[in-house]
Amino acid sequence: MPDFMLNTRPEAIVLGRETRIMGIVNVTPDSFSDGGDFYQTDRAIRHGIALYEQGADMLDIGGESSRPFSEGVSVDEEMRRVLPVMEALSAKIPVPLSVDTTKASVAEAAIKAGASVINDISALRADPDMARVAVRYNVPVILMHMKGTPRTMQVSPVYDNLILEIRDFLRDAAQAAVEKGMDPSNLMIDPGIGFGKTLEDNLALLKNLHHFAALGMPLLVGSSRKKFIRSILSQDSEKDMDPKSSLVETGTQATVASAALNGAHMVRVHDAASTKATLKVIDAIKNSRDFPDGS
């Protein structure tokens, strides 16, 4: 797998032989995975520090839930949630921080508070000023595929050719970013597991991640605790599983292993400790000797 380098602070992150971990810090009352657990600023800060201590290479801090059918929040409310956490963590831990937002003003304020990556689930479509902010501060941007919006994305999503359509979308999003002045080396792509995809779509994406290598950009995959994992594990029950259960985490780690083996450079997860152990083994397998043609 080729090496890439993200221009992050305080140090650049090299992506290649070692699959990197992005730890999730949801400063929200309504996220599907840990709704309200880290809504209070002090708890979010402690959680971020814990994720770093467990092995996270980057933290992704967000103040607006993107769960299916969710409503948005105002700019002021999103800043109120995110900025104190960003400021505190940037002073306390030595790994890069990402801001999970679709709003340019939130991204710019977060960068001033310590963020060095923008994670935009709209791939720069939601706010026309987002590219300007990224160019002005020369920060990496993660471009994600999403069919529709969080409010509509899971209403009967249909594709003629799942992989081709998502790959073309990400290629076009990256080209648009470059045309707006972004450095191509500052772009990372995310196929958007769970964002406008059926259970079968998500499984096919994980199996076929290698097709995105042709785009020549580092690949982020976020499958942690998602509905499709819980659906597989609870097929014999009408009740949805607790996203924080140990069984769901086991299922998450299966998807982490699959993603890493099939081309992901970074995985976005809730449990950095379990992921660190999974990736230590998977990366050892991935980097072991090749025997072409079985010889």
DSSP 73-110: --HHHHHHHHHHHHHHHHHH-SS-EEEE-S-HHHHHHH
The pLDDT, as a whole number, for residue 36 is: 56
Q: What residues are labeled active site?
A: 226, 268
In order of their start, the domains of the chain are 17-222+259-285 (3.20.20.20)
> What tokens appear for 79 in the block?
């800043």
Nearest CA to 99 out of 35, 254, 127 is that of 127
The pLDDT, as a whole number, for residue 66 is: 76
Strand, coil or helix: 135 = helix
CB 218 within 8 A of CB 189: yes
The pLDDT, as a whole number, for residue 38 is: 62
Low-confidence ranges of the chain (pLDDT < 70): 1-2, 30-39, 67-70, 149-155, 236-238, 294-295
d(CA 158, CA 61): 30
Strand, coil or helix: 218 = coil
The pLDDT, as a whole number, for residue 2 is: 63
d(CA 127, CA 131): 8
The one-character DSSP state at 240 is: P
Element (H, E) at 6: strand 4-6
The pLDDT, as a whole number, for residue 33 is: 55
> What tokens appear for 197 in the block?
């995809």
